[in-house]
């Protein structure tokens, strides 16, 4: 499959058939669709505009950044539709019918809410295009409007992370009948959500009563990517200079859990822009989480998600201003991770014991020095163990950061001895 070539969407649907079927299974309906969708899309990195986790396709190493974002956008939109589908899909024919309807919804959504992406339904020779052809073309167009600004991490981040708002609005769109009034409402919501996001960034930037250089640049990059109307853009610039309190923002307090989670994590990332979280900023985040009716665990999980993201992309962020040493940030992240693995000690040990391959390598490590190949294998297997912990099922783990020595710090003390003494 080549996402830059015609026919990529059909190949994607065939490759991902098993996953898509699982999303409509009876068991998936036991949890709230918002929670299920977060579990599907957060580890991919699309919420932060970085495709950090692509499914294991044999050609994925050959894809460029836009190819990867295109696949993730397609997967996220289709997953959203299937997770909100009101009943299980029982056979391939039903799955095919649901998929066609989903592709039609994607095309209608972008044609109505993003008129700049409008795609003709017929070819030059008058042939009516299939739902598959239309959806593929419109996804191609949407990704072409993102950026590939090499070396400018934050411009790329904001252009691409705003794709999440596509996914959120689409999740609402599929429950409506597309007429002009509905379309106008969602066009309005598209701009209002981006404006609210700008206000969140402004409030987070003012949390410690000092506008940092990095935060000012963040707002500039956001306004470049948000495509707001001139009046809204000017309003956001004034708000950023003057500041705004949480109470003054039109926040989605009674709205989607997923949208609130996104807003919270963008606020955390704004504060992390200078790689330094001060007490006043932490207090702001706690107030914002409370406003959204999030628990302390919700905030903690989002902090871990963003800290992991910052560590994974540390080299990309260093062109800004390095106020806090890498070791200090990583120490904080390791402490948070260690608390979670300690709480899940029994689960960790069971996962280790259930893997014959891992048990064999651990036993070998007690008697001799492992080869580089064996160490790489051990690292990979230990990351898989971490992914069995509920918190790490729903958030992305920083693969580059999690070296073998760091994994040994994160995992519970004496877990090797306890695992091998079964």
* Pairwise CA distance, residues 266 & 158, whole Å: 10
Given a contact cutoff of 8 angstroms between Cβ atoms, the answer to whether 204 and 273 are in contact is no
Contact at 8 Å (CB) between 333 and 396? Answer: no
178 CB contacts (<8 Å, ≥6 apart)?
A: 108, 112
pTM higher than 0.75: yes
- 210: number of Cβ within 10 Å: 11
Q: Does domain 179-324 have CATH number 1.10.3680?
A: yes
Contacts of 130 (CB under 8 A, 6+ apart): none
Query: Domain map of the chain by residue range?
Result: 179-324, 329-420
Q: How far apart are the first and last CA of the chain?
A: 45
How does pLDDT run along the chain (422 residues), one tens digit per residue? 888 889 999 988 888 777 676 766 654 444 577 887 888 788 777 887 777 666 667 777 788 878 888 888 998 898 888 877 667 777 777 788 888 888 999 998 998 888 888 888 888 888 888 999 999 999 999 988 776 555 566 666 766 778 888 898 888 888 776 667 777 888 888 888 888 888 998 898 888 887 777 778 778 878 877 888 899 999 988 988 888 888 888 766 567 888 899 999 988 888 876 666 778 888 999 999 998 889 888 898 898 888 887 787 776 554 443 445 677 778 888 998 999 999 999 999 999 999 999 999 999 988 889 899 999 999 999 999 998 888 887 787 888 889 999 999 999 988 888 888 76
């Amino acid at each position: 499959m080549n996402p830059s070539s015609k026919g990529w969407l059909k190949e994607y649907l065939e490759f991902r058939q098993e996953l898509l079927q699982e999303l409509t299974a009876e068991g998936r309906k036991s949890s709230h669709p918002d929670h299920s969708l977060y579990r599907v899309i957060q580890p991919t990195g699309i919420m932060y505009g970085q495709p950090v986790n692509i499914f294991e396709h044999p050609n994925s190493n050959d894809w460029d950044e836009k190819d990867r974002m295109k696949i993730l956008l397609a997967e996220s939109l289709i997953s959203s539709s299937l997770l909100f589908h009101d009943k299980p899909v029982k056979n391939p024919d039903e799955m095919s019918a649901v998929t066609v309807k989903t592709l039609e919804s994607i095309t209608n959504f972008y044609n109505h809410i993003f008129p700049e992406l409008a795609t003709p339904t017929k070819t030059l020779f008058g042939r009516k295009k299939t739902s598959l052809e239309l959806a593929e073309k419109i996804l191609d167009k949407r990704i072409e409007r993102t950026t590939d600004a090499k070396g400018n991490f934050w411009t790329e981040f904001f252009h691409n992370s705003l794709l999440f708002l596509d996914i959120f609005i689409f999740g609402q769109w599929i429950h409506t009948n597309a007429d002009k009034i509905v379309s106008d409402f969602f066009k309005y919501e598209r701009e209002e959500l981006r404006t609210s996001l700008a206000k969140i960034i402004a409030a987070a930037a003012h949390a410690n009563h000092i506008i940092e250089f990095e935060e000012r640049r963040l707002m500039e990059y956001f306004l470049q990517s948000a495509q707001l109307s001139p009046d809204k853009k000017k309003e956001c610039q004034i708000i950023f200079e003057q500041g705004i309190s949480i109470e003054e923002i039109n926040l989605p307090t009674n709205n989607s859990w997923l949208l609130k989670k996104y807003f919270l994590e963008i606020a955390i990332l704004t504060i992390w822009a200078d790689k330094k979280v001060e007490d006043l900023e932490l207090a702001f985040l706690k107030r914002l989480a409370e406003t959204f009716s999030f628990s302390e665990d919700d905030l903690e999980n989002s902090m871990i998600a963003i800290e992991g993201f910052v560590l994974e992309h540390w080299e990309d962020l260093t062109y800004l201003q390095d106020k806090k040493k890498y070791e200090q940030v990583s120490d904080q992240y390791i402490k948070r991770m260690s608390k979670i693995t300690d709480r899940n000690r029994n689960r960790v040990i069971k996962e280790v014991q259930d893997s014959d391959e891992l048990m064999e390598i651990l036993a070998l490590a007690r008697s001799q020095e492992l080869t580089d190949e064996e160490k790489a294998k051990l690292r990979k297997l230990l990351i898989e163990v971490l992914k069995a912990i509920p918190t790490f099922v729903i958030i992305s783990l920083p693969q580059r950061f999690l070296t073998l020595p760091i994994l040994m710090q994160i995992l519970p003390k004496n877990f090797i001895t306890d695992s091998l003494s079964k």
